[in-house]
């Protein structure tokens, strides 16, 4: 068994979208939107190709991670650049086997090597705390609505990278696709059944959970 992590190439685009669709189908909502995000993300100036990787198992792509630029806007309107990742996708048959962890850690190490200062993401805390991510409340960085959520987390890549920066996080517009084109785009893939699952309600609760932790 040979595992290889490399930069995404143009020839990988469609396969990455197919894998992303499989990975997220019926996970957070009936169907999925993440494959449309993956499709659109490369068209934005926020896209960071030098941090967008695929993971191969015996020469076949089984997952991917994509990065974009984001920014913290402070109370004076000054923009502080950070980066973010997502979608992170692993084919369902390879879940919980460590491939996602390898892919994420590889990208974090490369982001450090390339001199990026900090990563801010949205996701389930139990997924990302092991990498050192903590709630952005620790750094007084809220969402644009002014709230601190447990699912919005930060990882400084250099010592003190987020110290003294407070404000609101603004992710790339590529993270918010025009869902009016989703059905048409979805028709270019094999048909799949949309289902309502218990995980959808869990996800809705998770994304709205206010961070009440006290950080030192």
The answer to the question of residue 23 being in a domain is: yes
Question: pLDDT 10s per residue in the chain (216 long)?
Answer: 899 999 999 999 999 999 999 999 999 999 999 999 999 999 999 999 999 999 999 999 999 999 999 999 999 999 999 999 999 999 999 999 999 999 999 999 999 999 999 999 999 999 999 999 999 999 999 999 999 999 999 999 999 999 989 999 999 999 999 989 999 999 999 999 999 998 898 888 888 999 999 997
Q: Spell out the residues 6+ positions from residue 188 whose beta carbon is closer than 8 angstroms to its own.
A: none
> Would 139 be classed as within a structural domain?
yes
pLDDT of residue 89: 98
Q: Is residue 154 part of a domain?
A: yes
Q: What confidence score (pLDDT) does residue 182 get?
A: 95
Residue 188 lies in a domain: no
CATH code of 92's domain: 3.40.630.30
Could you list the residue range(s) of the whole structural domain that residue 200 is in?
A: 3-174+196-207
Number of domains in the chain: 1
Q: What is the pLDDT of residue 24?
A: 97
- For residue 43, what are its two tokens? 């068209």
Asked if residue 185 belongs to a domain, the reply is no
Q: Does 152 map to a domain?
A: yes
User: Has residue 212 been placed in a domain?
Assistant: no
């Amino acid at each position: 068994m040979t595992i290889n992590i490399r930069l995404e190439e143009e020839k990988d685009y469609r396969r990455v979208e197919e894998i992303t669709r499989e990975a997220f189908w019926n996970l957070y909502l009936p169907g999925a939107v993440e494959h449309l995000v993956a499709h659109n993300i490369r068209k934005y100036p926020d896209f960071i190709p030098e941090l967008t990787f695929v993971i191969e198992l015996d020469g076949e792509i089984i997952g991917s991670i994509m990065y974009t630029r984001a920014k913290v806007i402070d109370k004076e309107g000054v923009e502080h650049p950070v980066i973010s990742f997502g979608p992170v996708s692993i084919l369902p048959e390879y879940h919980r086997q460590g491939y996602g962890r390898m892919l994420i850690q590889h990208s974090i190490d490369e982001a450090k090597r390339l001199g990026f200062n900090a990563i801010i993401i949205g996701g389930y805390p139990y997924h990302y705390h092991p990498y050192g991510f903590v709630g952005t409340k620790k750094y007084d960085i809220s969402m644009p609505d002014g709230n601190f959520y447990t699912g919005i987390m930060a990882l400084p890549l250099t010592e003190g990278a987020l110290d003294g920066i407070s404000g609101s996080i603004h992710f790339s517009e590529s993270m918010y696709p025009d869902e009016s084109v989703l059905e048409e785009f979805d028709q270019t893939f094999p048909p799949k059944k949309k289902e309502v699952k218990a995980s959808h309600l869990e996800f809705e609760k998770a994304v709205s959970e206010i961070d009440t932790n006290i950080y030192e």
